[in-house]
Amino acid sequence: MKITALRISDPATFILFSLFLISFSACKHYPVFKGDYTRIETAPGPEDIALDTLQGMERIIASCSERRTEDYSRNGFYSLDIQSQKLTQLVVTGLPTSIQLRPHGIDIALVKGVKTLYVVNHEKNAADFPPAGRQSILVFELRAEEVVFVQQLTHPLIVSPNDVCSDKAGGIFVSIDSGKINSKWEKLMALKRSYVLHFNGEVWTQVGEKLRYANGVGVADGRIYITGAQEKNIFSYKINDDGTFSDLQQYPAMKGNDNITFQGNKLVTTAHLDFLKFLKHVKDAEAPTPCIVYSMDLETHQLDTLYLDNGTVMSAASTGLIYNHKLYASQIFNSFIISIPLVD
């Protein structure tokens, strides 16, 4: 998830914005997480994590990017060995000096025998969020200790990309969270101007209807699943053999949803529960904001809470990933992820 720092000087706009925040944020008290967990230090902003068990590996790849300052020296990709819990930074090879690395959503797929890392990338030399410079998808070959640059994908429709996932057939899906990047009114009024793109290797096409702040994307069992940070439902389309999409389904869920992963027949996602506190956390690492990691059964669509916290342990959780009876959760800003043992 990305956030724009809103600067409001017009009184009428301020009133509307205040009413929006009141309606968006539920005045609830969330509990402090009391369960066991392990804190794993990373570089700043491990917004997305992806499991890599391909070709004999057993690790988690974290996409890290500084989002509060202009010090991007630690931006990049980090490998967490699941057995040893050792974290190492992967060497980035072949990336042109003309491309500024500010990674966001990621996914890993085996494409024609090559382990491929897809990366949403935002290029901008400024501190405001989200970035307003060149927006693209970077493609790397993922190796044991390095990522090797392959190509950069750009298109006029890639206005404000947020997340990316493989379509399981050599193409990708990309969520575009805004119809116009940095549009404060679009977010303020929760306008349906964002969308999801599909790239089959040659052509970019829009998937289904427009949404309010399209965010996480994921593919399972021949369907594309989509979350929206300002939607109350999770959306899904069937992926047809001819490349079209049909059979729209909507499943009641949380509001403020972020990235998507899968574990068995479960979709795992996160949600930001208090927008006012989230805005404070954008600027202040010590200002807690409540968050949740939960799953949705793909057959019954039942929701199950995996982790709930008022922000004391972790704020702004953006990705939840289950592996070997542990939940790994990452966040948008602060420099660590957590692992939590799960009870069957």
* 171 in Cβ contact with 200 (< 8 Å): yes
* Euclidean distance between CA atoms 246 and 243, whole angstroms: 10
**pLDDT at site 132:** 61
Are the C-beta atoms of residues 153 and 97 closer than 8 Å to each other?
A: no
- Amino acid identity of residue 255, one-letter, is K
Nearest one of 108, 51, 110, 43 to 74, comparing CA atoms = 43
User: What's the pTM?
Assistant: 0.91
Cis amide bond preceding 130, omega within 30 = yes
The amino acid present at 217, given as its one-letter code, is V
Rounded CA-CA distance 193/179 in Å is: 5
pLDDT value of position 290:
97
Tokens of 222: 């021949």
Residue spans of alpha helices (H) in the chain? 11-24, 184-188, 275-283
C-alpha span between 255 and 272 (Å, rounded): 7
Q: pLDDT for 282-335, tens place per residue?
A: 999 999 999 999 999 999 999 999 999 999 999 999 999 999 999 999 999 999
Phi/psi for 198 (5° steps) reads -120, 130
- The CATH number assigned to the domain holding 311 equals 2.120.10.30
For residue 63 the two structure tokens come to 């996409």
Angle at which helix 275-283 crosses helix 11-24, to 10 degrees, equals: 110
Q: What is the pLDDT along the chain (344 residues), one digit of tens a residue?
A: 654 444 444 444 444 444 444 444 445 789 999 999 999 999 999 999 999 999 999 999 999 999 999 899 999 999 999 999 999 999 999 999 989 999 999 999 999 999 999 999 998 753 443 446 789 999 999 999 999 999 999 999 999 999 999 999 999 999 999 988 878 788 888 889 999 999 999 999 999 999 999 999 999 999 999 999 999 999 999 999 998 999 999 999 999 999 999 999 999 999 999 989 999 999 999 999 999 999 999 999 999 999 999 999 999 999 999 999 999 999 999 999 999 999 87
User: What are 51's two structure tokens?
Assistant: 């499991």
Answer yes or no: are the C-beta atoms of 228 and 194 closer than 8 Å: yes
Q: Is residue 5 part of a domain?
A: no
pLDDT at 189: 86
Tell me the helix, strand and coil percentages in the chain, rounded to 5: 10, 45, 45
CA-nearest of 58, 80, 72, 86 to 121 is 72
What the block records as the tokens of 323 is 């592996």
Q: Tens of pLDDT along 153-172?
A: 999 999 999 999 999 999 99
Give the per-residue pLDDT at 163. 98
Identify whether 19 is part of a domain: yes
Q: Is residue 124 part of a domain?
A: yes
Candidates 169, 162, 302; CA nearest to 234 is 302
Please give the backbone phi and psi of residue 291, each rounded to the nearest 5 degrees, phi first: -150, 165
Judge contact between 211 and 197, C-beta under 8 A.
no
* Residue 151: domain span: 11-341
Q: Is 1 inside any structural domain?
A: no
In a domain, 105, yes or no: yes
Whether 299 maps to a domain, the answer reads: yes
Total domains, the chain: 1
For residues 217 and 227, give the distance between their C-alpha atoms in angstroms, rounded to a whole number: 7
pLDDT in the model for residue 3: 46
Q: Which residue, chain included where needed, has tokens 């040659």?
A: 202
